[in-house]
Amino acid sequence: MTVVCRAYSGEPGFSADYGRVFDFLVRLNAGQVLTEGFLWGRWEWAFSLPYLETAALGRMGLWEDEGEVVAVAVTEQGLGNAWFALDPRYAGLKAEMLDYAIGQMSKDGAVKVLIKDSDAELQRAAACRGFRPTQEQERNAVLEMDNTPLGYTLPEGYRIVSLEEEYDLHKYNKVLWRGFDHKGPVPGTEEAIAKRRRELSAPHAELALKVAVAAPDGEFVAYCGMWHLPGSAYALVEPVAADPAYRLMGLGKAAVLEGVRRCCARGAARAFVGSSQQFYYNIGFRPYSSETWWEYDAGRGAKRGE
């Protein structure tokens, strides 16, 4: 095996390199899910959002064996943060990936890398390079569809509707704006709506899997986006939102379970969500894995006199 490391192209949007990483994540998790915290749906969702720091794209790293991606070091939040995904057959790259993150993905001499709590090998390599675990963690939960009740009820007058059936960007914008507790009036500018349109225009975003609960007045008051490839054994839940004025009515539960049911009908056996919120546990998800942010700070020794 001759593995070559190179920088991501830096081209924003759904570029050729975007597709190479997408294909790698699909292939990596085809048999057994290995990167439940960073599935293809999360990668695609990040590129659908207007917040991705495109200036940092060219600092991400790809490792290729005869042109096929076998490992990646990528960022969602800009420089200073790195996510790793690695084909287990290339475990010897772990140390090199840490060095790459330090050298290419740091911001002001510091970088955080997300490491599974079960990956003792990567933890040791990180500690040897001066990384230290922090109190910041990411947790993942799973719902097993074959032994979890997927039924739900809606209050009278409320109904389930997919964005395939009712493609209304203003209603979609409103439920996400209010559902994520943004302050102030819902922005309805052309720019705001264009951003929402982009979120729903990713290559594998299927509007039939974007599920809303409509109130009696027709407004969307809860929403769940699902990411699933037909025939795949797993799905991803992202994002979920409920209007604060309509919470504690079972509407968020209905949106999520309806999305899960639709993926189940297409071949999914499990649904993952990057969360440990009690809401998900209450509707049938279980804790699955945890990851910790490890931080490297080039100035730590000088600042602490170490």
Q: At 203, which CATH number? A: 3.40.630.30
Q: Are residues 95 and 204 in the same domain?
A: no
Domain that holds residue 31: 3-137+293-304
Q: Please choose, from the candidates 187, 177, 240, the residue with its C-alpha nearest in 3D space to the C-alpha of residue 213.
A: 240
Q: Are residues 160 and 278 in the same domain?
A: yes
Q: Are residues 92 and 72 in the same domain?
A: yes
Residue 222 CA to residue 112 CA, distance in Å, equals 34
Q: Is residue 275 in a domain?
A: yes
8 Å CB contact between 270 and 140: no
Q: Is residue 142 in a domain?
A: no
Q: Are residues 124 and 176 in the same domain?
A: no
Task: Tell me what the mean pLDDT of segment 111-138 comes to.
Answer: 98
**Cα within 13 Å of Cα(218), Cβ side:** 4
8 Å CB contact between 105 and 53: no
Q: Is residue 144 in a domain?
A: no
Residue 105 CA to residue 103 CA, distance in Å, equals 6
Q: Are residues 171 and 218 in the same domain?
A: yes
pLDDT at 149: 95
Residues 6+ apart with CB under 8 A from 10: 57, 58
Domain count, the chain: 2
Q: Is residue 259 in a domain?
A: yes
**Tens digit of pLDDT for each residue in 159-208?**
999 999 999 999 999 999 999 999 999 999 999 999 999 999 999 999 99
The CA–CA distances, whole Å, from 254 to 152, 227, 240, 241, 270 equal 6, 17, 11, 12, 17
Cα 118 to its chain centre, rounded Å, is 20
Residue 299 in this model has a pLDDT that exceeds 90: no
pLDDT at 3: 98
Q: Are residues 28 and 60 in the same domain?
A: yes
pLDDT at 302: 39
Q: Is residue 288 in a domain?
A: no
Q: How confident is the model at residue 4 (pLDDT cuts 50, 70, 90)?
A: very high
Residue 296 in this model has a pLDDT that exceeds 70: yes
